[in-house]
Amino acid sequence: MAWYGSRTLLSLLLVLLQTCHSDATVCDHAQMTASSEQLICNGSQLARVEKGTLSSALVQRSTKLGSAADEAASIIADNSMDDSKLWTSLDTASTAKLFLPSWLMVFSCVATLAILLSATLAYCCYQAKRGPACMCTGCCAGLFILWALALIVLKVYLMRLAGPEPAGPMVQPPAKTEVVVDATVPFTKAEINSLAPVNTAYLEGMQNVLDKQSGKPGAVKVESVVASPVTAMLLQHVQSLVEHRLALVYTTVDQGITGNAPQMNASAVAADLERGLRVAAGKQSGADVPEVLKEIAEGSRPGATKTAAKLKVKFSLRCKATHQLNEDIRAAARIVISKHQEVLGKLEHIAQRTSGSLRLGNRCNDPSQKESMQLCLGPGALWVDYVTKEAVSVPKSEDTVQNFVCSLGCDLGSALSSETSKVMEAANYEKTFSQINCSPSLSNGRTCHSPCA
């Protein structure tokens, strides 16, 4: 059972890491010749095997499987392991196709043999036979009974060491769009951020602009506005009125939209902000309304000039694949993942190659579980969540923010699937994992319209 567990653990780790030491070794498929030679990543060395001799090479390497698995298992158990030695052992163990029976299958076989042998021994005793055959049967029955007990102990130990499986996926927050408007305004950062009438006027002013642009009032809700300095203070030379160049960051979220995502034109938003702000300023009342805001409402003073807007978005992606791994393999994989954080580092590295703004989420399992997991391997599915470090600028070429985040999800899914296929093809596990799909969390249960090409 320990030998099977080692093989199981090593094989699954390779599928999860998707590496074959890709940072240290590059398989240059452009070097393939017309003789259909195949390049195989092997740790830090590149082995070239002709197509006609590929099967015989795998057979030769499969004879080394038992010793390689045992060697890698001993390395994993050692906290001061040698990385290069581990990777060499993992690769040797993975390049042959493995048959990995479940614990239940092994235990059923052992228990059945133990029962049969015990029944045979009981029959011998009943017939008062004391020959060598009966003695051998008794010894074998005792060995199989001990083996069955050992399997139960190992099963309990493995599950306790692996910990619980993820209770389910964590609910991801929907993507939020930020409209960043650089403008010259007659208020300081502190006044816009803290004074209720001023903050409300600028927030409602943007709400007026977005309602007009979408044609559906309230479809896009402005949740907040935060001002931050862009450049030093400016002085108007004619009226000697102090004005400031500030970046107004509006956080918005879609509401009640189940169809196509609303289009948002940054240039039109910047051009219409002054008009929307004047209307919103006229609705402010009370003793705490400053005189400057009243002047904006009257139209005698601009509330935002020299405006320039751009769109940014904060979002999360869930990358998911289905699998056919049994409970024992999943438990062994969780043990390896907990001991080797480089698994998570590799996943984050792949995401950053796709988009430098993505990082691995702090957890992907349900918050009801005490222990957080960044890589979730549950029954039938494996998933990992990515989040943005900060708001990402949306290119002007994108017609909607939704299309932009969906395209990033497609790129990340393709990158992860590419790394996966390299390992599974070498290990003959093409049907163990499905293709990895990465999808963003959108408001109101919306999904990306077109599948990834």
Answer yes or no: is 15 within a domain.
no
331 and 441 housed in the same domain: yes
Q: How far apart, in whole angstroms, are the C-alpha atoms of residue 453 and residue 403?
A: 14
48 domain residue, yes or no: no
- Confirm whether 453 is domain-assigned: no
Note whether 143 and 191 are same-domain residues: no
Q: Look at residue 236 and tell me whether its pLDDT is greater than 50.
A: no
Is residue 125 in a domain? yes
pLDDT of residue 3: 40
Last residue of a domain, one of 311, 343, 361: 311
Per-residue confidence at 123, pLDDT binned at 50, 70, 90? confident
- 27 to each of 30, 85, 90, 270, 419, how far by Cα in Å? 9, 20, 18, 49, 12
Same domain assignment for residues 296 and 376: no
Residues 158-178 have a mean pLDDT of 87
Shared domain check, 189 and 305: yes
Which residue, of 276, 292, 311, is where some domain finishes?
A: 311
pLDDT category at 386 given cuts 50, 70, 90 is very high
Q: Domain count of the chain?
A: 3
Domain of residue 129, residue span = 103-162
**Residue 44's pLDDT band (cuts 50, 70, 90):** very low
Residue 19: pLDDT above 50?
A: no
Average pLDDT over residues 275-285: 92
**How far is it, in rounded angstroms, from Cα 329 to Cα 12?**
7
Domain membership flag for residue 60:
no
Residue 182 sits in the same domain as residue 210: yes
Are 182 and 295 in a shared domain?
yes
Task: Answer yes or no: do 259 and 367 share one domain.
Answer: no
Which pTM does this prediction carry? 0.65
Q: Give the residue among 228, 230, 229, 271 at the shortest CA–CA distance from 250.
A: 228
Looking at residue 351, which CATH number applies to its domain?
3.30.70
| Dihedral Cα 255, 394, 418, 172, nearest 10 deg | -30
Please tell me whether residues 123 and 241 are part of one structural domain.
no
Residues 302 and 318 in one domain: no
Write the CB contacts of 320 (distance below 8 Å, at least 6 apart in sequence). Answer: 381, 382, 383, 436, 437, 438, 439
Domain presence at residue 343: yes
Q: Is the domain of 303 the same as that of 236?
A: yes
Q: What is residue 256's DSSP assignment?
A: S
Q: Say if residue 363 is in the same domain as residue 375.
A: yes
Q: Is 368 exposed, middle or buried (0-12, 13-18, 19+ CB in 10 A)?
A: exposed
Same domain, 189 and 282: yes
Q: Per residue in 177-232, pLDDT tens?
A: 999 999 999 999 999 998 889 999 999 999 999 988 888 888 888 999 999 988 54
Question: Does residue 20 sit within a domain?
Answer: no
391 lies in a domain?
A: yes
pLDDT digits (tens, 9 = 90+) for 85-105: 444 444 444 444 445 567 788
- When the pLDDT of each residue in the chain is averaged and rounded to a whole number, the result is 75
Q: Report phi then psi at 370, rounded to 5.
A: -65, -45
Q: In 3D, which of 340, 330, 4, 2 has the Cα closest to residue 163?
A: 330
